[in-house]
Amino acid sequence: MDYPDFSLELSAYGHGASRVAGVDEVGRGPLAGPVTAAAVVLDPDKIPDGLNDSKKLSAKRRDVLYELIVAQADVSVAHASVEEIDEINILRASHLAIERAVQGLQSVPDYLLIDGNMIPRGLEIPSAAIVKGDARSVSIAAASIVAKITRDRIMRDLANQYPGYGWETNAGYPSKSHKAALQNLGVTPHHRRSFKPVHNILYQG
């Protein structure tokens, strides 16, 4: 398995940066729940072994790495709500969550490595958009782990309040059972009304 490394961060250091944050978000595709972003500034001398794209790690390994990241790095997590997603669209909402995560860091970073192909327009810090960044940069990989763990925990909590939708396992994504539950149980306050499967149920006929 190929692992991300610290080369993009070192390149930024070489151009005068001293605090480089990796940034990633999770939760664009679900029908329910917030979109969540994390920003992480790793200590170059305390980089946990085995950092990788959160989707390539087992749940157990993610949990172990999450605890190490939170203990050893400057970490900030932020969200955009379902209401914000419906009001400004999921892309802008995900960018809003990213902007909030960066603003929440203990110290302002001087360079950002952002997963994806777009830089949120609200960021005023020099940034690079890195396609498949969570497989290339350990800082982005760390952010992907933190964002996923945090959002999954939120969806498990919501699953206890609204049983039957399977959020404890599908995290709000449009699984077959989740879509069936929408039809059978109806729309909750945590569903994204601007998303087609939810919108169609609310306004069918």
Q: Express as a percent the part of the chain with pLDDT over 90.
A: 95
The residue with greater pLDDT, 53 or 79, is 79
Q: Which domain holds residue 49?
A: 7-161
Is 167 part of a structural domain of the chain? no
- The 10s digit of each residue's pLDDT in 151-191 is 999 999 999 999 999 999 999 999 999 999 999 999 999 99
Q: No. of H helices and E strands in the chain?
A: 8, 5
Tell me, yes or no, whether 182 lies in a domain.
Answer: no
Q: Which pLDDT score, from 0 to 100, does residue 92 have? A: 97
Rounded Cα–Cα distance for residues 196 and 17 (Å)? 43
User: Residues 100-145: pLDDT tens digits?
Assistant: 999 999 999 999 999 999 999 999 999 999 999 999 999 999 999 9
Q: Is the pLDDT of residue 96 over 60?
A: yes
DSSP-assigned beta bridge partners for residue 78: 37
Task: Give the Å distances, CA to CA, from 156 to 46, 162, 167, 195.
Answer: 31, 10, 6, 21
pLDDT (0 to 100) of residue 205 = 45
Is 189 contained in some domain? Answer: no
Whether residue 146 is contained in a domain is answered as yes
pLDDT of residue 55: 87
Q: What is the C-alpha separation between 130 and 105, in angstroms, rounded?
A: 20
Is residue 204 very low, low, confident or very high in pLDDT (cuts 50, 70, 90)? confident
**Mean pLDDT, rounded, for 74-99:** 98
Query: Residue 49 pLDDT more than 80?
Result: yes
Distance CA 190, CA 192 (A): 7
Q: Report how many domains make up the chain.
A: 1
Query: Was 45 annotated as part of a binding site?
Result: no
User: Around Cβ 148, how many Cβ atoms within 10 Å?
Assistant: 25
DSSP codes, 154-171: HHHHHHHHSTTS-HHHHT
For position 75, which CATH number holds? Answer: 3.30.420.10
Average pLDDT over residues 31-47: 97
Which of 13, 10, 40, 44 lies closest to 25, judged by CA?
Answer: 40
Task: Fill in the amino acid letter for 56.
Answer: K
Question: What separation in angstroms does the CA of 90 have from each of 4, 36, 142, 194?
Answer: 28, 11, 23, 9
What's the DSSP call for residue 195?
Answer: S
Q: Is residue 134 marked as binding? A: no
Give the pLDDT confidence score for residue 170 in this predicted structure: 97
Residue 28: CB atoms within 10 Å: 12
49 labelled ligand-binding: no
Residue 1 — very low, low, confident or very high, per pLDDT cuts 50/70/90?
low
